[in-house]
Amino acid sequence: MKRLCILILAVLIAALALPAFAQAPKAAGSNLTIGLVMVGPYNDRGWSQANYDGMLYVLDKVPGTKLVYIDKANSADRPGTTVSQLGESLVAQGAKLICFSSDDMMDEAVKFAAAHPDIFVIMTTGDQQWKEGKAYKPMANMINIMGKMEYMKMVAGVAAAMTTKTGQIGFLGPLINDETRRLAASAYLGARYAWVNYLKKDPAQLKFRVTWIGFWFNIPGVTADPTQVADEFFNSGCDVVISGIDTTEAVAEAAKFTAQGKKVWAIPYDYSKAMDEGKGVSLGVPYFNWGPAYAKTVKEAMNGTWKAHFEWNDPDWKNINNPDTSAVGFIKGNLSKEASEGVDKFIGELAKGLNLWAGPMNLQDGTVYLKSGQKATDQQIWYLPQLLQGMTGQSVSK
């Protein structure tokens, strides 16, 4: 009998304790200090600045919010520190919500969220809270946010294909993972679509080459130098380089080659003003607009409606550059009339439901990825295992 009592008591305690662990942190109320952890410098004119600007948007739109941040949160720039430790320094400054804004911080963000169940955590680009995802790890205090950049990379591919005279496009890739594979593949799908459907050319004539540098930005002595990789592209016949890295080396190099009399272009990435360094040589920029999603999530933390989830946000097809509604956008740069019309036409078709992630489609090694008529699921796109057939470059790290 005594044993039974103890057992019942234990079950009761467990039943009471479980939901307590699985509960989101208490609503922050009318004031909230946000802590933003960025992988690169906050003014990198790329990924980190796009995130920083997203938080400035939150400060502007959500009353009662304050921002503390730390940038260059990577072990090369801040040796000896861990990202969760940096998150804690922001908590020490009063932050109740920490946004880890880089894929590089995944492991540490999970460590941090587990150790601090009372702090809200945004893990940007992550898939830990995606029930259908491969990395699902339920944590009541974590939300994953990502924008559907795939669309805008396709647009970039269209701009590149409509512009190239040599038929050779280079993709300056960061490191190899699911995200970078699917974004490079999206750029290729857009380029091939324009090449075949708008320019009526033979797809075999389109060369699309990917070179990875090894990280999101240049770390001297550790990564390949993106400046040299861009130069190599331009010297070996590519006249358009699509950048997939956080910083703007591709644009700078295109400007340098143009000054030397070569006709080349680049497409920067991540940040809406990334073209400023080379307006004449930039065909446009696919960029993230983190503000709206961050603002919504911050409000949820404040008013108590926070619920752990994963979101992969669409552009606003009515106006992909609407700062209040569109998660991703594309700003046109120095495009020819024909290329500009091609880009507009393509965006119109996407808005009407054009899906380039449809079969028949093979992976780089020839295995079938999508059968004829088959449409890729979100999971198939997110976890694209290789580059696609027709693309040159490393698919998987060897």
Q: Under rule CB under 8 A, how many of the chain's residues touch another protein?
A: 43
Q: Would you list the DSSP string of 68-106?
A: EEE---STTTSTT--HHHHHHHHHHTT-SEEEE--GGGH
Q: Given the complex with another protein, which of 72 and 345 has the nearer CB atom?
A: 72
Q: Given the complex with another protein, which of 33 and 289 has the nearer CB atom?
A: 33
Identify the residue among 31, 93, 166, 377 touching another protein (CB under 8 A). Answer: 93
Q: Given the complex with another protein, which of 104 and 253 has the nearer CB atom?
A: 104
Q: Is 74 in the site for another protein (CB under 8 A)?
A: yes
Question: Shortest approach of another protein to residue 80 CB, angstroms?
Answer: 4
Rounded distance, CA 155 to CA 140, Å?
A: 36
Stretch that binds another protein, among 85-93, 152-160, 333-341, 372-380 (CB under 8 A): 85-93
Q: Is 43 in the site for another protein (CB under 8 A)?
A: no
Identify the residue among 58, 70, 154, 293 touching another protein (CB under 8 A). Answer: 70
Query: 142-147 and 120-124: which strand pairing?
Result: parallel
Rounded distance, CA 70 to CA 222, Å?
A: 23
Identify the residue among 33, 48, 55, 88 touching another protein (CB under 8 A). Answer: 88
Q: Is 380 in the site for another protein (CB under 8 A)?
A: no
Classify burial at 170, counting beta carbons within 10 Å of its beta carbon; exposed 0-12, middle 13-18, buried 19 or more. buried
Identify the residue among 104, 232, 246, 270 touching another protein (CB under 8 A). Answer: 104
Q: Is 372 in the site for another protein (CB under 8 A)?
A: no
Residue type for position 382: W
Q: Is 116 in the site for another protein (CB under 8 A)?
A: yes
Q: Is 220 in the site for another protein (CB under 8 A)?
A: no
Question: Shortest approach of another protein to residue 256 CB, angstroms?
Answer: 27
Q: Given the complex with another protein, which of 108 and 316 has the nearer CB atom?
A: 108
Contact 181, 306 (CB under 8 A): no
Contact 258, 173 (CB under 8 A): no
Element (H, E) at 303: helix 291-303
Identify the residue among 52, 100, 212, 265 touching another protein (CB under 8 A). Answer: 212
Structure tokens, 60: 């502007």
Tokens 């930039």 belong to which residue? 282
Identify the residue among 62, 89, 133, 299 touching another protein (CB under 8 A). Answer: 89
Rounded distance, CA 77 to CA 74, Å?
A: 6
Q: Is 176 in the site for another protein (CB under 8 A)?
A: yes
Q: Would you list the DSSP string of 311-378?
A: EEEPP-TT-TT-TTT-SEEEEE-S--HHHHHHHHHHHHHHHTT--SSBSSEEBTTS-EEE-TT-B--H
Q: Is 215 in the site for another protein (CB under 8 A)?
A: yes
Q: Is the dihedral of CA 159, 161, 162, 167 positive or negative?
A: positive
Stretch that binds another protein, among 24-32, 66-74, 195-203, 286-294 (CB under 8 A): 66-74
Identify the residue among 47, 52, 69, 357 touching another protein (CB under 8 A). Answer: 69
Q: Given the complex with another protein, which of 224 and 370 has the nearer CB atom?
A: 224
- Residue among 97, 91, 32, 44 nearest 245 (CA): 44
Q: Is 365 in the site for another protein (CB under 8 A)?
A: no
Identify the residue among 177, 227, 258, 321 touching another protein (CB under 8 A). Answer: 177
Residue type for position 223: T
Residues found near another protein in the complex (CB under 8 A): 68-72, 74-76, 78-82, 84-86, 88-90, 92-93, 103-104, 106-107, 114-116, 175-178, 212, 214-215, 219, 221-223, 385, 396-398
